[in-house]
Amino acid sequence: MRSFFKASTAALGLAAIAASGAFADGHAKLSGDLRIISDMSNPAPRAVMEGLAADFGALHPDLNIELDIVDREAWKTQIRNALTANAPDVINWYAANRMGPYVNAGLFEDISDMYANGDLPGLEAVKGAMTLDGKQWGVPYTYYQWGIYYREDIFNELGLEEPETFEQELANCQKIVDSGRKCYAIGTKFLWTAGGWFDYLNMRTNGFDFHMQLARGEVEWTDDRVRETFANWRKIIDMGGYIDDHQSYSWQEALKFMTDGEATAYLIGNFAVAPMRDAGLGDDQIDFYQFPMINDHPMGEDAPTDTFHIPANATNKDNARAFLQYVTSAEVQTAINSGDALGQLPVNANSSVDADEFLEQGFEMLSNNATGGVAQFFDRDFPAEMASVGMEGLQEFMVFPDNLDDILARLEDARQRIYK
């Protein structure tokens, strides 16, 4: 779908918001062209992207904006060609190591000066997700939190409090198991949910930087520090903390164990809240807490982040930089992440969120308490082939923990082959 925007009606009302606020002060009117390719192809994201283009065009009536919206899955294979031949000025992609192939190939523009000059206020907490080799290569525009969602009513029944340490987490789990319930619902049929558990256990055991080194292939899977992560994981497995036969369930199917009260918590993204509510759980029955500390490392978080980038071969880089500054401004971030739009979290710490307790908790955690860094989730942070092999091993470990030596040997063989 290709659209052209010039002095059009502001679809999201963002132009009026930004023009009346600090964003408009000192920003010269733009002219010329701005080509954007976006993979925001689902209905709600598409409306947001079209609104951003229209509203930015209303702020700059002499600017010709061309917007192409492509299929999200198709874009994963099309992006490299788009960056090399007749590159647009702005594209969508993902943060952290998912940027790596295009940064290393010289296909993304270095915009470190925008961060250094104060052109992007409010992005300090997520700056690390845009950083490779000490430089910044784009801007985030939306993300969502992961954490432990739990049955508050069952916690109250058992006299449990939200844990701050892994020892407290395990003590809670033992009381839950003793009550005849499972601690955690999880469905690993499609593997990726096991990746979430590994991410948190590894970040809490060894720190965010170590986790990213492992993702980049710089650490052996047979390293003793990796083994310590699995040793912590096995404590939960050995005490019967997870639902039985989780490898037979999708994450949605496993959610029923929590909503029925057979399991007490779920390590999952905020997208699970709506199904919990749809299943009849009230907000007085569910709550959320940050994955607790294991060792004394700053607290890294999984928060999959969608991003905008300027291709190195772009023609209209000044206009593209102005668009990136616009889309990350506090007012625009508030608007596009509202429940009427993306329904996720703004990346600008000066934004606000809808009056939803889980969005508010997630925003507070990621803006102020994700002190270790923001990871992008196992299947985004690791190269695709390593992620596939790795998640197979993680699921196998959850079912057959005695296979750990064989699993780590296979993952190490894969690391040596894949990262060449």
Tens digits of per-residue pLDDT, 341-371? 898 999 999 999 988 999 999 999 998 877 7
Q: Give yes or no for residue 5 having a pLDDT over 80.
A: no
Predicted local distance difference test score (pLDDT) of residue 14: 60
Residue 8 pLDDT class (50, 70, 90 cuts):
very low
Mean per-residue pLDDT, 77-101: 91
Tens digits of per-residue pLDDT, 167-199? 999 999 999 999 999 999 999 999 999 999 999
Classify each residue of 239-265 as buried b or exposed e, where b means 16 or more C-beta atoms within 10 Å of its C-beta. Answer: eebbbeebbebebeebbbbbbeeebbb
Share of the chain above pLDDT 70, in %: 94
Tens digits of per-residue pLDDT, 273-304? 999 999 999 999 999 999 999 999 999 999 99
Residue range(s) of every CATH 3.40.190.10 domain in the chain: 2-143+305-351, 146-302+374-418
CB 97 within 8 A of CB 318: no
State the Cα–Cα distance between residues 15 and 59, nearest whole angstrom.
6
Share of the chain above pLDDT 90, in %: 80
CATH architecture for segment(s) 146-302+374-418 = 3-Layer(aba) Sandwich (3.40)
DSSP strands (E only) in 360-416: 373-375
What is the distance, to the nearest Å, from the Cα of residue 323 to the centroid of all Cα atoms in its chain? 22
DSSP string over 126-141: GGGGGEETTEE--EEE
Predicted local distance difference test score (pLDDT) of residue 374: 86
Superfamily of domain covering 2-143+305-351: Periplasmic binding protein-like II (3.40.190.10)
The structure tokens 């190195």 sit at: 312
Predicted local distance difference test score (pLDDT) of residue 129: 86
Q: Note the pTM of the prediction, 2 decimals.
A: 0.84
Residue 2 pLDDT class (50, 70, 90 cuts):
low
